[in-house]
């Protein structure tokens, strides 16, 4: 059972317990300098609860560094239990030799009534490892101004290089998790696009053939009063099936265009531009630098560039009121670049500055996950230019990661 810990000390021992004393003598000496507990006093329980609930190590030391109090947080930081620490020298138990002199100097300053705040000192744990602790220290005075001991409150600190390393690790983990989520999204898009094509598309095609068969039968059937109405109904149903087929194909293409996987990025962008022109009536041209003919982009890079072009054209359709859009692909020895320029109303600085623009934020995140950069700028009445630059080769940090491979629907 752990010894009681309190700060209301009675008469101190004439000799501080030391490592050369017997266990019984040390215990007697410690009891002589320990607090007088007033049983039943609620304030004592409050002090005890605060002491044990604190996340900071709280020690009561004699001026010779003998440990008189040792709370739970001190046990956690050091690895020494209160029963093992009480009565021992803090210097000998927890400090490397080179830190003895400076710590004793702090004890002297505190004993003279000078509060010590934020001084750092290494703490050697039970396992031998070192932890840097920031201490606040002041003296505890009893009745008549008698010095009872020195209270030290310590918090383990993390060195700046370690903090930076932990921050870098956390950021890398967050980027990795986001990237895995995006990859999972693309894989799910592939799966849904295949199901739309294979299941719904084939079912609708079969239904169209059935309607064509029915129409032929009706045309050769003996004339009846409702024959014309039935054929008209069959034609209407066939038209509905055609529209459903078109919708299914368009949805499957939007989810994951087969052309991107079968023929590559450039044909996929050209198809995207054609679809944009058909929907809006605005011109949309794709210009490709000659050096692209020799490039073999990673699948993930092609997917990101296509998704960014797709999102940008959607934004132009919704907000820009543009009559001309130009998609341009260029590259140098290290990077590939996508530029999308329109002659529309121009994106406002307010929309660029907003934090809830999901589309813009999503494009920035996609590019940054592959080690690239994204920039967008607009002038009111003159249009907008958005640029995404990505490494031409898969970054080394991502070389062993997953890639999206989608079978063509």
Q: According to the model, what pLDDT value does residue 251 have?
A: 78
pLDDT of residue 405: 42
384 contacts 344 by C-beta, under 8 angstroms:
yes
Encoded tokens for 87 = 């009565």
Coil/strand/helix, residue 401:
coil
Cα 347 to Cα 376: distance, rounded to the nearest angstrom = 9
Predicted local confidence at residue 154, as pLDDT? 92
Alpha carbons 111 and 105: distance in angstroms, whole number? 10
| Cα–chain center distance at 402 | 19
DSSP character at residue 268: H
Q: What is the mean pLDDT of each run of 10 residues along the chain (409 residues)?
A: 40 39 49 49 77 89 92 92 93 92 91 89 90 91 86 83 73 76 74 72 79 80 70 83 80 73 86 90 92 82 89 86 92 89 83 65 83 86 90 60 42
* Residue 28: φ, ψ to 5°: -65, -45
Q: What is the largest CA-CA distance in the chain?
A: 126
Tell me the pairing of strands 283-288 and 324-331.
Answer: parallel
Give the span between the Cα atoms of 268 and 274, in whole angstroms.
10
pLDDT value of residue 395: 54
Task: Output the CA angle 137-146-114, nearest 5 degrees.
Answer: 30
For domain 23-157, give its CATH number from 3.20.20.70, 3.30.450.20, 3.40.50.1390, 2.60.40.1730: 3.30.450.20
How high is the pLDDT of residue 328? 94
Question: Cα separation of 69 and 4, whole Å?
Answer: 9
Q: Answer yes or no: pTM beyond 0.85.
A: no
Domain ranges of the chain: 23-157, 159-256, 263-409
User: Could you count the other beta carbons within 10 Å of the beta carbon of residue 6?
Assistant: 17
CATH class of domain segment(s) 263-409: alpha beta
If you compute the radius of gyration of the chain from its CA atoms, what whole number of angstroms results?
38
Closest CA relative to residue 12, chosen from 142, 198, 105:
142
pLDDT of residue 226: 67
Residue 133 — φ and ψ, nearest 5°? -125, 135
Closest CA to 57 of 120, 118, 130, 135: 135
């Amino acid at each position: 059972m752990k010894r009681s810990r309190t700060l209301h000390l009675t008469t101190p021992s004439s000799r501080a317990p030391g490592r050369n004393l017997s266990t019984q003598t040390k215990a007697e000496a410690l009891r002589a300098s320990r607090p007088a507990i007033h049983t039943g006093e609620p304030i004592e329980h409050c002090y005890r609860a605060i002491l044990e609930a604190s996340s900071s190590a709280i020690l009561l030391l004699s001026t010779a560094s003998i440990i008189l109090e040792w709370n739970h947080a001190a046990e956690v930081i050091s690895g020494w239990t209160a029963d093992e620490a009480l009565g021992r020298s803090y210097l000998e138990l927890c400090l490397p030799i080179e830190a003895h002199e400076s710590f004793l100097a702090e004890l002297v300053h505190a004993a003279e009534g000078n509060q010590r705040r934020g001084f750092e000192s290494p703490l050697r744990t039970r396992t031998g490892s070192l932890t840097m602790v920031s201490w606040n220290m002041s003296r505890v005075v009893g009745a008549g101004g008698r010095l009872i001991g020195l209270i030290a409150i310590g918090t383990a600190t993390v060195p700046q290089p370690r903090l930076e390393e932990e921050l870098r690790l956390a950021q890398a983990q967050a980027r990795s998790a986001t990237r895995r989520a995006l990859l999972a999204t693309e894989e799910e898009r592939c799966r849904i696009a295949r199901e739309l094509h294979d299941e719904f598309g084939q079912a609708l095609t079969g239904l169209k053939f059935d309607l064509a068969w029915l129409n032929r039968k009706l045309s050769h059937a003996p004339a009846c009063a409702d024959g014309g109405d039935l054929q008209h109904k069959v034609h209407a149903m066939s038209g509905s099936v055609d529209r459903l087929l078109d919708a299914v194909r368009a949805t499957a293409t939007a989810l994951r265009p087969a052309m991107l996987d079968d023929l590559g990025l450039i044909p996929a962008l050209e198809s995207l531009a054609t679809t944009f022109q058909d929907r809006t009536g605005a011109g949309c041209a794709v210009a490709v630098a000659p050096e692209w003919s020799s490039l073999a982009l990673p699948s993930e890079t092609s997917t990101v560039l296509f998704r960014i072009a797709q999102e940008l054209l959607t934004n132009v359709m919704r907000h820009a009121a543009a009559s001309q859009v130009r998609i341009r692909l260029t590259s140098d020895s290290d990077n590939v670049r996508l530029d999308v320029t329109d002659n529309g109303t121009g994106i406002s600085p307010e929309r660029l500055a907003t934090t809830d623009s999901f589309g813009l934020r999503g494009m920035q995140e996609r590019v940054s996950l592959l080690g690239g950069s994204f920039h967008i700028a607009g002038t009111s009445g003159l249009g907008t230019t958005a640029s995404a630059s990505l490494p031409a080769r898969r970054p080394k940090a991502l070389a062993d990661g997953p890639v999206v491979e989608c079978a063509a629907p």
